[in-house]
Amino acid sequence: MTKTIVQQVKFAVAPEKLFDTYMDSKKHAAATGSTAKVSKKVGGAFEAWDGYITGKLLAVFPKRALVQTWRGSDWSKKDPDSVLTISFDKAPGGSLLTLVHANVPDGAYDDLSSGWEESYWTPWKRYLGLK
């Protein structure tokens, strides 16, 4: 069985800044405190957290949204890749990031649910100078 994680996070910066933070390898690494390699081309590879996360870019809507395959290095070979969709929308006071992480293996669900906050949203807010 698989599950889906859905999260919405408000940031007091423009959506374009969030998009660039995720899609730029150097900014992604600086924001999370771990190595990242992010291809901006559809079909290109994605790697983050010192190689723990790997995948491919399936679709990109510049400055607005992205879709990637996504998997953890500790997942079983039987586990299919999950699909990550992140959209970056204007909202009062800045932006609203919406994450839909589908096809997450049951055994990874709890760690990933809290991991997005701990490994991305909180460090991003520090990186962007937000509280």
Contact 60, 44 (CB under 8 A): no
Q: How large is the average pLDDT for residues 78-95?
A: 96
First to last CA, the chain: 37
Q: How large is the average pLDDT for residues 60-71?
A: 97
User: What pLDDT, on a 0 to 100 scale, did the predictor assign at position 1?
Assistant: 86
User: What pLDDT, on a 0 to 100 scale, did the predictor assign at position 11?
Assistant: 97
Residues 82-96: b if buried by 16+ CB within 10 A, e if exposed: bbbbbbbeeeeebbb
Instruction: Give residue-wise pLDDT tens across range 14-37.
Output: 999 999 999 999 999 999 999 999
Instruction: List all residues 6 or more positions away from 81 whose beta carbon is below 8 Å from its beta carbon.
Output: 55, 69, 70, 71, 103
Contact 9, 121 (CB under 8 A): yes
Q: How many domains does the chain divide into? A: 1
Average pLDDT, the chain: 96
Q: Domain range spanning residue 69?
A: 2-127
Contact 75, 105 (CB under 8 A): yes
Q: Please report, for the domain that includes residue 12, its CATH number.
A: 3.30.530.20
Instruction: List all residues 6 or more positions away from 3 whose beta carbon is below 8 Å from its beta carbon.
Output: 104, 106, 109
Share of the chain above pLDDT 90, in %: 98
What is the model's pTM?
A: 0.94
Kindly calculate the radius of gyration of the chain based on its CA atoms and give it in whole angstroms.
14
For residues 131 and 113, give the distance between their C-alpha atoms in angstroms, rounded to a whole number: 21
